[in-house]
Amino acid sequence: MALVGCGSAAPAISISNQQLSERVDTSDDWIRSRTGIGARRIASADEPLTELASRAARAALDHAGWAPGDLDLILLATSSPDDLFGTAPRVQGALGAMNAVAFDLTAACSGFLFALITAAQYIATGAVRRSLVIGADQLSRWLDWNDRRTCVLFGDGAAAVAVEACPVSETGLLGFRMRSDGSRYACLTLAQTDGRETLLPGVSTQKGGFAPIFMNGQEVYKFAVREVPQLLGEVLAATGTPADQVDWLLLHQANQRILDAVADRFAVPHERVLSNLAHYGNTSAATIPLMLDEAVRDGRIQPGQLLASSGFGAGLSWGAALLRWDGPRG
């Protein structure tokens, strides 16, 4: 599987730490010193996830030089769909990609990496030749904007990567690992509310609805700085790749301290750690492809370079992969 195109989309509205401090008891210094975040993009009331995901998908198609009809598969990694029955088919329809099967994959902040690995398996079997893998989330709709522990962290965005079949010797997915630990699920949740509705005398049913995002930040931080370097180390060892041969660390953009801790573990200079947290915050499944697209467009990531990547978050779930960027094949 070769990575041959990318694209992204972000809402126009940007809310700075200073603006947020007018609503909740916080400050720019407090947020930056603990997270590295300076602002976040927030979707307007008239900007659904489908629109963001479709814009990112079109940009990736254009970058790869593909027509919508070239697609065989669309995977949408999201935890905040416009429709719980699935938003990927709506993206497929918006693109006019009528030859592609489309479905959602939910794994929170690990979602994009899990979806990319899933697409690779379809390609490896020969069932799929070309796929779009989209990471998109609009968690602003599920935040308690009066809770300074969570509302300062998250933003909205979407990004996509175009992948296609290639000879094994040219693959862009050199190795990967995935993990889940449901015993720690309560550390980060967007849980169903315990609503009840009387259906008949003596018979009640659950009433649909979700509580705002809850996060035990301290536990999630400890989980990430412990588990992510270990899993990345396993991938590098399995592929026989010394850390000094990795061109870039492309990690889930959750917290700058986590990014720096992983870099220190592998003695990777901080200037080789890709980060756009300051401008976007944590966009969940969108963070990795959003950062990838930014670094490809500005020339930092060049064809043939190696990217050590990891996604981690709710579930708890985490994954790691060693990627090689190819770029458009003309």
Cα dihedral: 50, 61, 135, 3 (round 10): 170
Of 6, 17, 255, 282, catalytic: 282
Q: Is 109 annotated in the active site?
A: yes
Q: What does the alpha-carbon distance between residue 190 and residue 200 come to, in Å, rounded to a whole number?
A: 29
pLDDT at 133: 98
Phi, psi of 207 (to 5 degrees): -105, 125
Section 28-42 average pLDDT: 96
Domains by residue range for the chain, with CATH:
2-170 (3.40.47.10), 173-184+215-324 (3.40.47.10)
Q: What is the pLDDT of residues 182-213, one digit of tens each?
A: 999 999 999 999 889 999 999 999 989 999 99
Of 109, 151, 187, 255, catalytic: 109
Q: Is 282 annotated in the active site?
A: yes
Q: Is 270 annotated in the active site?
A: no
How confident is residue 131, by pLDDT bands cut at 50, 70 and 90? very high
Tokens of 75: 């995977």
pLDDT at 278: 96
The single-letter code of the amino acid at 250 is L
Phi-psi category of residue 318: left, alpha or beta, with phi > 0 → left and psi -120 to 50 → alpha: beta
Of 17, 151, 252, 255, catalytic: 252
List the beta bridge partners of residue 300.
Answer: none
Section 295-309 average pLDDT: 98
Burial 30-66 (b: 16+ CB within 10 A, else e): ebeebbbbbbbbbbeeebbbbbbbbbbbbbbbebbeb
pLDDT at 19: 96
